[in-house]
Chains A and B, each alone.
Chain A
Amino acid sequence: MTMTEAGGEPNEPRQPSAGGRVGRVAGVGQTTSQQFRVVLDADRYLAVDDLVVVRTEVPEAGAVATYGIVTESEATYEGATFESDVHRIGDGGFQPAEQVRTAQVAVTRVDPEIWVAAGPGEVVERARGVDRQRALYVDTIDPAKRLAVGLGRDGDEIEMDLDYFDGTKGGHMSISGVSGVATKTTFAFFFLRMLTGLPNLDTRATANLRALVFNVKGEDLLWLDRPSTKFSPEDAAVWTRLGVEPTPFRLATPSRDDRGGTKPRALGGGTSPTVAFWAPPAKASRDAVLPDVSGRQEGIEAFYWTPEEFIRDGLLQFVFTDASDQRNQIPFVEERVRSQLQRWMRPVDGEPGAVTLVDPSGAVHAAQGIVIRDMESLVEALGALLEPEGGGDGQPHSAWAGRVQPGTISAFMRRLQSASSGLRLGRLVRSGISRRIDRTAATVTVVAIQGLHELAQRFVVGALLQETFREKEMTGQSHPLSVIVLDELNKYAPREGVSPLKEMLVDIAQRGRSLGVLLVGAQQSASRVAPDLLENASIRVAGRLDAAESERAEFGWMLPSTRARARLLKPGTMVLSQPAVPVPVVFSFPRVPWATRRDEVRPEGDPFKGL
């Protein structure tokens, strides 16, 4: 998704409205324990998403408070029988009629838990303060786990129960919405900023948190350290109200010295979390190793894997992530080759990162002496072992090929060869000093893979996810938390088919919660994402949805009224579902102080005054 906020300004929450009586429970028709209607007083209003409370005196049980959320607002002319009566009422004024406003309310909570219908004629009050907290179950959330994610339609904070994100009771977040207007990624960053910035949060959950983010479209995420021209004092006021100082991320990309060492960047003042930017090397820069981005040169580092790292980490599996690769026996060959490479790999003196293949038994083989410096030479070495052309005895090396059909071998080689071209994986693997991504350098690590071929994008994502996950598996510690933000999840874990990348994502979804690896997945169509991923996400957020998409079963957690409105949501307005609150809540988050695209970057020298 792009972070373009085309299609309107972000939704401003309206002014907080006064509490007190707004009307009475309607008496025509029945009220139930699930819903009722409110007939409003002439001088009050209730809008959709407003929260109300009714206190009913129940025989035997005593006072019962019924909390609810407005799901629809209605108005009618009482006294009008025909449509044309409005002219006689409104224009001529000679037909008496009364405007009657009502609101439908879905019950969210009954306290004490005696599920009786609210009494007709009982006074309905707008829920404010403690009542509002009870209506939204905020009182059941540990104060140190209340994560403010924005303002509700009533102008007050909406809080998320962090227990359902950090793995305590649940984990992972799924964000859905139409590209461009749903502000999925912006929200993910806003969420990270709140997570790392809110002072009330349990430090165990937030300390040393690391987030890995993939920039998959445009260069929208490469400006997180630059102030935005769109950020207004009103937005700043909302940030302050939520309790976080509105500042951009601090740049912390380590700068490289010529010998391959890194030195930490001098950070500016302030307490905002740090960010580091990484990009694959540009195609043309064989020796210079410059990052492949057009927008910014400073503060971004190039990364690649050396052949040694490629083999040691078993990254070969992420070369074959296409669903069609899984049908024949290619995975079998790949697995065998992967482990053979690890067994035979030997470093090459004087060439850091490069390897050569040596048979542990000492036997001479067809790839003897070939120095693997990049994908091309890797293909060459594997070709010699698997598809010897007249060399040796013309048979593939049995330790490498096993008893696989020659057709499968050649399919494997063909795919490896095409994946290894300079346009695909070629530039991601090269010998030299190690230039792996250092995920410890900053709180947020942004990996810019927007310029890569899809196959290479999947490779990078797979490699980094595996690295993150393995690290956690090794330590066995769930803290500090590791958050992975992945847009276009449907590309990496599609509903249909199998691939090592999808398997790993499903694994993260299932086991990551206890390991402290938390996935923030975003997608345009939840219906195209593997169900395991959606089902394991405790927190669900949706921005504007495609009309057809909102009707799908994946959005069954929304109220019918919320579904109907989901295609009208403005940028910055989202629907939140969390296990602690049984109804989805609509909220708005303020604009962010960092630029979400290049043309929003505030020019240098322009003081960030007044904020």
Chain B
Amino acid sequence: MARLYLESWAPGFGSPVEADQSLPPSEVEVDPAVEVDGAWEPLPGLDDGVRSIAFVDGVRRIDARLTVFDADDDSGLPIPGLCASYAVGATVWQRGPAPRSTYEQVAVHRIAVLGRGRAEQMPQVRGLAYATESTEGEDDDQLTAHVQTRMRQAEGACAAVLAQAGHFVVADGPINEFAPQQVIGYIKTHHRSYLGPAEAGCVAALRPGERTPMFRINPQAKFQRYSWYVRLAAVPFGHAWSGVVRCESAFALGRDEARKIADRTAAILPLVAPPLHIDPRAPQNLVPIAALEKHLRHQLGDAALVERALRAALHAPSTSAEQEAAAR
């Protein structure tokens, strides 16, 4: 029987079950039998007392739009560009008798991206270091995607550093490092079920703190990884997939290590999921990640001040000839 449900997220944030454009559409092959043979049953999580967990995330902001106008260019058309800032970092949760969290590895990057492969250089901006990059893309989405890619790379590097430092890393979004490290990808939204109808029933049966058995994505292809679903919280008036997130870990970790990690996430992630009323993306937007995002946004600096600095840099007479012209 069909029924209508209201999603728990504030509408401005989309829906936890809407299509996520960033996932490559080729990933369809799934092997559901890597952990259990036969019918799936919910598995209880297990907190193995991991000492510290690092939640890695990034934020980005378009600071300003640029346009390159080259009178010598044959097309005579303006070339788009943009200035963007992104920040990545982690909330490191030290567990133990006196638990506390700190922000670590926080870094702010600023780039100017020029379309159509233009090699012009951004002038010096006072107090802000913009690196100039170019991309072949020409429209806004492609420029933004370039920034997004840079941010994802920075997140990946941050996660790797923290994993090497001995932390268990929960990185926002799918993983893009496939080395055997203690990093899981944390995916808040579901654009498709990787599971067949038989296994999908197990997701519906999950209670908070339980997970589905692991399955293997792309068993034959390059980006192999383990994945599983975890229910963070029982969402009142929710449907079968409310309050469910998907996690993934590198296939290279090996099945036993991946299972240990999966058990751990099922037990620990519900602890740090926010109650519905305090976050517009509850329960999926974990408390350490939400706090980190706020902190990172603050690190980006005041948007108006950044824009003013950019304006000052680009409007300043840059050559002596221009200075003379301005003086006249």
Contact = CB atoms under 8 A, between A and B. Distances in A.
Interface of A: 79, 81-82, 84-85, 88-89, 91-97
Contact of B288 (A82, A84, A96): A96
A95 B103 CA distance: 10
Contacts of B102: 96
Contacts of A97: 101, 291
B203 interface: no
Contact of B271 (A79, A89, A92, A96): A92
A97 B99 CA distance: 12
B144 interface: no
A92 B53 CA distance: 13
A91 B271 CA distance: 12
Given A93-B95, A94-B272, A96-B295, A88 B100 contact: no
A96 B91 contact: yes
Nearest to B99: A93
Provide the main secondary structure of the chain B interface: mixed
A92 B95 CA distance: 8
A79 B272 CA distance: 16
B54 to A, nearest CB: 11
B272 A92 contact: yes
Residue picked from A79, A81, A94, A95, most chain B C-beta under 10 Å: A94
A93 B103 contact: no
Nearest to B100: A93
Nearest to B94: A93
B278 A94 contact: no
Contacts of B98: 93
Interface in B97-124: 98-103
B93 interface: yes
Nearest to A85: B278
A509 B291 CA distance: 64
A95 B279 CA distance: 13
B290 to A, nearest CB: 8
A558 B93 CA distance: 47
B278 A92 contact: no
A530 B280 CA distance: 63
A471 B272 CA distance: 83
Given A81-B278, A85-B278, 19 more contacts: A88-B287, A91-B99, A92-B99, A92-B287, A93-B93, A93-B94, A93-B95, A93-B99, A93-B100, A94-B93, A94-B101, A94-B271, A94-B272, A95-B287, A95-B288, A95-B291, A96-B288, A97-B101, A97-B291
B287 A79 contact: no
Residue picked from A79, A91, A92, most chain B C-beta under 10 Å: A92
A89 B99 CA distance: 9
Contacts of A88: 287
Contacts of A89: 101
A42 to B, nearest CB: 14
Contacts of A96: 91, 100-103, 288, 291-292, 295
A27 to B, nearest CB: 13
Given A79-B291, A88-B287, A95 B101 contact: yes
Residue picked from B95, B98, B101, B102, most chain A C-beta under 10 Å: B101
A120 to B, nearest CB: 16
B14 interface: no
Contacts of B95: 93
Interface in B254-301: 271-272, 275, 278, 287-288, 291-292, 294-295
A97 B288 CA distance: 10
Interface in B293-319: 294-295
A88 B294 CA distance: 16
A93 B101 contact: yes
B25 to A, nearest CB: 35
A49 to B, nearest CB: 32
B93 to A, nearest CB: 5
B296 to A, nearest CB: 12
A91 to B, nearest CB: 8
30 contacts: A79-B294, A79-B295, A81-B278, A84-B275, A85-B278, A88-B287, A89-B101, A92-B271, A92-B272, A92-B287, A93-B94, A93-B98, A93-B100, A93-B101, A94-B101, A94-B271, A94-B272, A94-B288, A95-B101, A95-B287, A95-B288, A95-B291, A96-B101, A96-B102, A96-B288, A96-B291, A96-B292, A96-B295, A97-B101, A97-B291
A84 B278 contact: yes
Contacts of A85: 278
Residue picked from A79, A85, A88, most chain B C-beta under 10 Å: A88
B99 A82 contact: no
B108 to A, nearest CB: 17
Contacts of A79: 291, 294-295
Nearest to A91: B99
Nearest to B288: A94
Contacts of B101: 89, 93-97
B140 to A, nearest CB: 32
Contacts of A93: 93-95, 98-101
A93 B271 CA distance: 11
A533 to B, nearest CB: 58
**Shortest beta-carbon contacts, A-B, top 6:** A93-B99, A96-B101, A93-B100, A94-B272, A94-B93, A95-B287
Contacts of B295: 79, 96
Nearest to B292: A96
Contacts of A84: 275, 278
A176 B94 CA distance: 54
A486 to B, nearest CB: 59
A88 to B, nearest CB: 5
B276 to A, nearest CB: 12
Nearest to B278: A82
Contacts of A91: 99
A94 B275 contact: no
Given A79-B291, A88-B287, A94 B99 contact: yes
B302 to A, nearest CB: 13
A31 B100 CA distance: 34
A81 B282 CA distance: 15
Residue picked from B102, B271, B288, most chain A C-beta under 10 Å: B288
Interface in B164-210: none
B288 to A, nearest CB: 5
